[in-house]
Structure 1
Amino acid sequence: MFIVVAGILAIVGALIGGYYFAMRPVPLKIAVGPPNSDDLRVVQALTQAFSQNHGYVRLRPVQTEGAAESAQALAEGKVDLAIIRGDLNVPKNAQAVATLRKNVAVLWVPPAKGRRKGAKITKISQLAGRKIGVIGRTPANVNLLKVILQQYGVDPGKVEIVQFPITEAIDAVRNQKADVWLAAGPVNSKITTEAIAASGKDGGTPTFLAIDSAEAIAQNHPVYESADIPAGAYGGSPDRPEDEVKTISFNHHIVARKGLSDSTISAFARQLFSVRQQLMSEFPLAAKIETPDTDKDAAIPVHPGAAAFVDGEEKTFLDRYSDYIWWALMALSAMGSIGAWFAGYLKKDERFINSSMRDRLLEMITIARKSDSSEELDNMQSEADDILRNTLACFEDGAIEHAALTAFNIALEQFHNAVADRKLILMSMPQTPPRAGTGNGPQLRATGT
């Protein structure tokens, strides 16, 4: 019994420990950059929300210099998650979890006043020999510009490209340090809006250059999509732009390192979309978070855990660990059987002795029916009492079962009946007279003479 109880406690302890191990919070490192960017602020807000809601997944932000560095950190296995641009070289071990936001490319020409001499620029094909300012230090924006120029037959080598940090971009636009400007970001990007507004401070309306070949670019470069900038997206009076402008877009993705547990990524995706509404008031960009593309030909393959969340096929705790629970129950059953066999093995001598005593009791039934002495019957009665005490002790110890006790009770009852019947017979039999020359008889006869 001790062994069985110990085995049960061990298995129950293992199940409790396994449940705690399976449900404990899982920390995931997420690479995001650059510093002071909207992406970093959104990730910091997600980190706080996950912690406050006691989520299964907890985030540990790792700051980088930009999306390219975040992608490199994921490729090297230094982080579990990363926020990357879809038009960069995506690491081979990256799998999509969510689309953080959609970005658009904006090309505009400042008003003619104060601008360098030359023909008015109204088309991208007229950019040869011009100076183009790119907002942001990331080389991805320069690559984006080159893709656009090449589509329109403009040799990037014949264009002067100058990059300006975000902190210096507004002053550079205001001081007309370039003929044309390129910005990449969400349609409602604050940086892009301020830069466009700065270009029209001296009066006039910026000219937006439409990328009419957006669909052709998307065909040649699957990481880009055709998109439209709505009229008035960047404010102003008159509206900036006055009409809808054709452009291209690309996505910022939250990607996970290939090989991460499906259940962990499913939990992360579920938490991400559950707190999205909570963050919208403080971070409007959170409203742009979307589920990943689950098509097999997607630019970035989706993580199986994220796909399970999107398709509603997440596995529950029982689904994930039912096999382990089944094997644990089988082990518990086996432990019980082994324990019962071992306990029976330890008491085999006791059962053998008790069986011998029962046989002795049956033997005494035969002897009692033929006994001619009340004293012999009393002695067998005392022996039967000892056998009864031993049998009850064996039953309490578990050496014999209830069926064996019932059989013993029948034998004991038969023995008592045999003793009682024999004593009645002996009491009814006449006493044997004493032989001559013994006892008081001869003395009386001697006295009489």
Structure 2
Amino acid sequence: MSHSGTSMSAEAPTPQPEMPRRRSRVAKSNRTQIVLFSILTLILTAVTVWGGRTWLRNSETLVFAVGEANGPEARFAAKLAALLKSNSSRLQLKIVPSADNAKALASFDRKEANLAVLRTDAKIPSRARAVAILDHDVLLLLSPGDKKIKTVADLKKKKIAVMADSESSAALVRNILELSDSPDAAARVQLAPPGSTLEKLFASGNGAVVVVAHASQIVKDRSYEQLAKRGGFTLNAIDAAKALARKYPALSEETLTTGMLSGAPAIPDDDLTTIGLEWLLVAQSRLSTTTMSDLARLIYENKADLALSDGFASKIEPVVTDKDAFIAAHAGAAEYINDDTKSFMDRYSDMMYLGAAALSVIGSIFAGIYTKITRVAPEKASELATAILDIGERMEYAKTLDALDELQDELEAILRGAVIGLRDGTISSDGLETFKLGYEFVRDEIGMRRDHLRRHAGQTPALSAPAGQTTTAHDDNVVVVKTAQSA
């Protein structure tokens, strides 16, 4: 077929199929669920610790054995119960009255009560541990008029009346004077009848009157001052107080301060030594250190709220915490008395232990829920090979270096995603070798494809076409079109 000298139209190239779109991959991540479950675990742990602490704070009831219902021990127990309630303490009291204090102590000794009040000359239960000194009973050695009693030996020669609440005080005086074995001991040392006064007792022939009473009550008793103005008595020191306290551990050396009985005239006119007894709040030794430390703290920090109207427990004092104390201090009370400040660990150790236990249990439960029910399972590394092979399949459609660069970017993006996924757990290492082989294979193929495109991009056609014709060269999948230019 002949053609004119003018340029002829070139043969239309065969249309090439377009590169298929990449398959979309839905990125799955556990990060949001991990954060959510972590927050829920911490919140539930905090709620559990708070609830457990609240439950524990209201879970312990202490039985307080007291004497007669209207006695000072019972009234003190009632004050203490009200104090615990007003302070929202975890401790509560159940007050159990008895006929007298001796029966209350017997109940305590049988472990039927946790708390009791005793005077140190009582029969001390073996499991009793001191918590606080509530009051002191002091012995006032009084003689009629201005007749002084200089020594205990002089006192032994006299007829003595004991003004006290119980026969036990008269028995105490007999023991101190070592008259218990004497056949006339009861006659020589008698308990004064109820309603007796010092003047009546002196008038009835008693050479001495020993008053055994709470120090807090003696300070408030104005009858001593009235009698002193009439010159009715002399207050005597007990010269052997230190030796007696050493001989009888239940006794303590006491000091009667100036003007304690009377301000005008001042009686005593100077500090004077005598002997006395202590009223102690005691607890069972088996009670926990934490419980008794809490109780001691409330008692010592709220003394004013525990004082009775008659003065009993108006000056609460710490017990002796030495190992050689007559009644050993409870470990919880000693802990508070000896070290009022606690470290952070000491103060909150119980909450920390409870929190650790709760966190372990709750964490295990949530981990089970997370793993079995709601967790997005990590994608296997081998599954990423599908995306890599997809790039390999689309490579044959890449006719330019730009298209090839896009595929290279996709391949590198898959690699970055795999590294990040392995780090945060969204991709497992299962099939990692398969992923590695697929990645290296496609990467090398892209490199070879790029070299091929670069070689053939500037290649001159091997056959020259006549003027006015177009030569089309085919080399595998590469088509290079040259259009003849007119002269």
**2:213 counterpart of 1:182:** no
2:261 pairs with one of 229, 234, 258: 234
Report the number of matched residues: 390
1:125 pairs with one of 153, 156, 181: 156
The alpha carbon displacement at 1:169 in A equals 3.0
* Equivalent residue, structure 2, for 1:101: 135
TM-score where L is the length of structure 1: 0.66
* Equivalent residue, structure 2, for 1:443: none
* Equivalent residue, structure 2, for 1:135: 164
1:17 pairs with one of 24, 37, 51: 51
The alpha carbon displacement at 1:289 in A equals 0.8
C-alpha contact (below 8 Å) 2:238/2:273 kept by paired residues:
yes
Q: Which has the higher contact order (CA 8 A, sep 6+)?
A: 2
* Equivalent residue, structure 2, for 1:159: 187
2:275 pairs with one of 248, 260, 264: 248
C-alpha contact (below 8 Å) 1:164/1:172 kept by paired residues:
no
C-alpha contact (below 8 Å) 1:47/1:58 kept by paired residues:
yes
* Equivalent residue, structure 2, for 1:436: none
Query: Residues 288-328 of structure 1, C-alpha deviation per residue, up to 9 Å, x if partnerless?
Result: 21111010100011111111101116654422343343344
Query: Residues 156-194 of structure 1, C-alpha deviation per residue, up to 9 Å, x if partnerless?
Result: 6363444357xx234697475672433212334259947
Q: Which runs of 5+ in 1 are unaligned?
A: 113-120, 372-387, 389-394, 431-449
SS at match of 2:125: coil
Structure 1 residues 61 and 366: alpha-carbon distance in aligned structure 2, compared to 1, 3 A threshold? closer
Structure 1 residues 313 and 337: alpha-carbon distance in aligned structure 2, compared to 1, 3 A threshold? farther
The alpha carbon displacement at 1:239 in A equals 4.9
C-alpha contact (below 8 Å) 1:32/1:40 kept by paired residues:
yes
Structure 1 residues 203 and 96: alpha-carbon distance in aligned structure 2, compared to 1, 3 A threshold? same
Query: Residues 346-380 of structure 1, C-alpha deviation per residue, up to 9 Å, x if partnerless?
Result: 958xx57x955x44554555555579xxxxxxxxx
**2:110 counterpart of 1:76:** yes
The alpha carbon displacement at 1:248 in A equals 0.9
1:216 pairs with one of 239, 243, 254: 243
**2:304 counterpart of 1:273:** no
* Equivalent residue, structure 2, for 1:86: 120
* Equivalent residue, structure 2, for 1:295: 322
C-alpha contact (below 8 Å) 2:253/2:274 kept by paired residues:
yes
Structure 1 residues 401 and 271: alpha-carbon distance in aligned structure 2, compared to 1, 3 A threshold? same
* Equivalent residue, structure 1, for 2:12: none
* Equivalent residue, structure 1, for 2:335: 308
Structure 1 residues 229 and 363: alpha-carbon distance in aligned structure 2, compared to 1, 3 A threshold? closer
C-alpha contact (below 8 Å) 1:109/1:206 kept by paired residues:
yes
SS at match of 1:185: strand
TM-score where L is the length of structure 2: 0.62
Q: Which runs of 5+ in 2 are unaligned?
A: 1-32, 147-151, 398-413, 415-420, 451-475, 482-487
Bigger radius of gyration among the two: 2
CA distance in structure 2 between the partners assigned to 1:304 and 1:164 by the alignment: 41
C-alpha contact (below 8 Å) 2:164/2:213 kept by paired residues:
no
The one-letter code sitting in structure 2 at the alignment partner of 1:48 is A
CA distance in structure 2 between the partners assigned to 1:192 and 1:145 by the alignment: 24
CA distance in structure 2 between the partners assigned to 1:106 and 1:131 by the alignment: 12
C-alpha contact (below 8 Å) 1:25/1:56 kept by paired residues:
yes
SS at match of 2:275: strand
The one-letter code sitting in structure 1 at the alignment partner of 2:174 is K
C-alpha contact (below 8 Å) 2:289/2:331 kept by paired residues:
yes
* Equivalent residue, structure 2, for 1:259: 286
The one-letter code sitting in structure 1 at the alignment partner of 2:282 is V
CA distance in structure 2 between the partners assigned to 1:215 and 1:173 by the alignment: 30
The one-letter code sitting in structure 2 at the alignment partner of 1:233 is M
2:195 pairs with one of 164, 169, 177: 169
The one-letter code sitting in structure 2 at the alignment partner of 1:143 is A
SS at match of 1:269: helix
C-alpha contact (below 8 Å) 1:269/1:306 kept by paired residues:
yes
* Aligned Cα root-mean-square deviation (Å): 5.1
CA distance in structure 1 between the partners assigned to 2:323 and 2:265 by the alignment: 45
The one-letter code sitting in structure 1 at the alignment partner of 2:279 is H
SS at match of 1:265: helix
The one-letter code sitting in structure 2 at the alignment partner of 1:28 is L
C-alpha contact (below 8 Å) 1:97/1:302 kept by paired residues:
yes
* Equivalent residue, structure 2, for 1:319: 349
The alpha carbon displacement at 1:105 in A equals 1.2
Query: Residues 393-425 of structure 1, C-alpha deviation per residue, up to 9 Å, x if partnerless?
Result: xx9xx9757999x99xx99x99xx99xx9xxx8
CA distance in structure 1 between the partners assigned to 2:84 and 2:138 by the alignment: 30
* Equivalent residue, structure 2, for 1:30: 64
The alpha carbon displacement at 1:99 in A equals 0.8
The alpha carbon displacement at 1:262 in A equals 1.1
The one-letter code sitting in structure 2 at the alignment partner of 1:260 is L
Structure 1 residues 327 and 40: alpha-carbon distance in aligned structure 2, compared to 1, 3 A threshold? closer
Identity, % of aligned pairs?
A: 20
Deviates more, 1:321-330 or 1:336-345: 336-345
Structure 1 residues 284 and 258: alpha-carbon distance in aligned structure 2, compared to 1, 3 A threshold? same
Higher share of residues assigned helix: 1
SS at match of 2:178: helix
The alpha carbon displacement at 1:267 in A equals 1.3
Structure 1 residues 155 and 296: alpha-carbon distance in aligned structure 2, compared to 1, 3 A threshold? farther
C-alpha contact (below 8 Å) 2:67/2:100 kept by paired residues:
yes
Within a 5 Å distance, the mapping from 1:380-395 to structure 2 comes to: none
